[in-house]
Structures are given as C-alpha cells and as structure tokens.
Amino acid sequence: DDENDDDHFEREYIRKRFKTNTSGSDVQQQSAMVKENKKDEAVTDKRSPKEEVVVEETKTNKETQQPASSTTSSSNCNKSDEQNKERTRLKNQLRKQRRKEKKTAAAKAKKDMENNRQKEAAKLEKTKAARQRDQEKLRKPAREFVTCRKGVKYADINVGQGPVVQDRKKMRVKYILRAETRQGKIIDSGSNFGFRLGKGEVIEGWDIGVKGMRQGGTRHLIVPPAAGYGNKNIGAGSGAILYFEITLLSC
C-alpha cells in the first residue's frame, strides 16, 4: 500500500511539474527516471568525507590545469607571432638591400655608359679634327717656289728657328721622296740621313736646294733630271722629276 501511495504521489508530481496530461506508459517512464535520479543522489549522499575530498581535489586539479594549458597555448602563440614578425623583418631588410644593390648597379651601368659615350664622342671629334686638318693641308694653296740654278725649285713649308746650315758642314735631315707630285707615291725615305753640304755627297739638286735652311725647318724641293739622277730610273720612271720633303734636324 505504501509503494502504491508513493507511485501515485510520483505520478501526480510529474503531472504537476510538466503540466501535461500524460498517458500511463509515459508516466511510468518518467517515474522510472525520477527513481534513477533519486538513487544517484542517494549514492552521492552515501560518499564518505574522504571520497568527497578526493572528488573536490580532482575538480580543483582540473580547474588548475586548464589555466596552465591556456597559459602554455598563449605563450606558444606569442612565440609564433614573434617568429613571424622577425621573419617578416628579415624579408623586408633583404628586399631593401636587393633594391639598393639594383639601384647601385643601374647607376654604375649608366655612369659607365655615359663615360663610354663621352670617350667615343671625344675619339670621333679627334678623328674629325685630324681629317679636317688633312683636308685643309691639301686645300692650302701651294707656296710660291723659288727657282734656283739648273731648274731646282724650293718652297719653305716651315721656317726653322735654329742656326742656318753652312757649306761643308755636317748636317742631318729627315726626308721623303715622292714621284710625280708632292702627294704622290713614296719611293724613298730616311729619318736621320747625314751628309756634308756642298761636298758632292748627295745629288746636286740637294746641294742647291738645301742652302739657306734653318735647323727645325721643313722645305719642299723639286729636282729636275739635270740636277738629279738624269735618265736613271730610281722608281719614279726614267728622267722623272723628283719631289722631296726635307726637314733639317741638325747642322
């Protein structure tokens, strides 16, 4: 009877708690759940003080471990962030260094290019000036020739500043012998030829045409066959007129 009263009480309690009209089977299921909860509560109430202390310590340890784990995780995150920042800083530094090196290399290449351009321009200007001098020299009107005996003619290209050559004295000259004209083919030349003036050591045209030269001067000399090699062919043809360019080195 007491158990039936308890069951009736539980059913009434469930109806009032959930405020619903439940069937008999639903009430029985809910009643069984209530009984199970009561048994668990009874078991919990029957724990000894020591068991309760162990349970509390376990809860406390779990609560204590959770912040430690959280702290470790936060530390790892901070460390990872610092590493990422350091890596980013190094990348930026390397990128800046590479940009600087590229700028330096580009500036050097530009400077070298400018220097080469200036050198080429200077070289071209020098060549152009030399060509103009040569053209002016060719266009320059011929100096008036002085006619001497035996048809020898001379014209001073450059009058020297040194002493005047003397008869029977040793002298040294540099000469070029051309055929046909003063700009003709070179058939003979000498850079340090020595002889004594008026001693017959050279052709008569030289003894006649070199007189009056000053040391350092240059003279054009036209020698006809009668004062040269006659009908002998020395490379300009038989009986050719000889064109000399003579520079007096010393006397």
pLDDT the model gives residue 131: 83
Residue 199 pLDDT > 80: yes
Better-scored residue on pLDDT, 181 or 22: 181
Highest-confidence segment of 67-81, 128-142, 188-202:
188-202
pLDDT of residue 137: 60
Work out the average pLDDT over 15-30: 54
Dihedral, CA atoms, 75, 79, 84, 88, nearest 10 degrees?
A: 130
Distance CA(186)–CA(180), nearest Å, equals 10
Residue 177 burial by Cβ neighbours in a 10 Å radius (0-12, 13-18, 19+): buried
Distance CA 249, CA 251 (A): 7
Mean pLDDT, to the nearest integer, of 25-31?
57
Of 216 and 10, which is predicted with more confidence? 216
Q: What is the mean pLDDT of residues 64-80?
A: 65
Radius of gyration for the alpha carbons in the chain, expressed in angstroms and rounded: 63
Query: Which pLDDT tens digit goes with each residue over 103-162?
Result: 999 999 999 999 999 999 998 988 888 888 776 665 554 568 999 999 999 999 999 899
Helix, strand, coil percentages (3-state) for the chain, rounded to 5, are: 55, 20, 25
In the prediction, which pLDDT does 244 show? Answer: 93
The torsion angles phi and psi of 248, rounded to 5 degrees, stand at: -85, 115
User: Is residue 82's pLDDT more than 90?
Assistant: no
Widest Cα–Cα separation across the chain: 181
The confidence score (pLDDT) of residue 29 equals 62
- Give the number of C-alpha atoms closer than 13 A to the C-alpha of residue 170, restricted to the C-beta side: 3
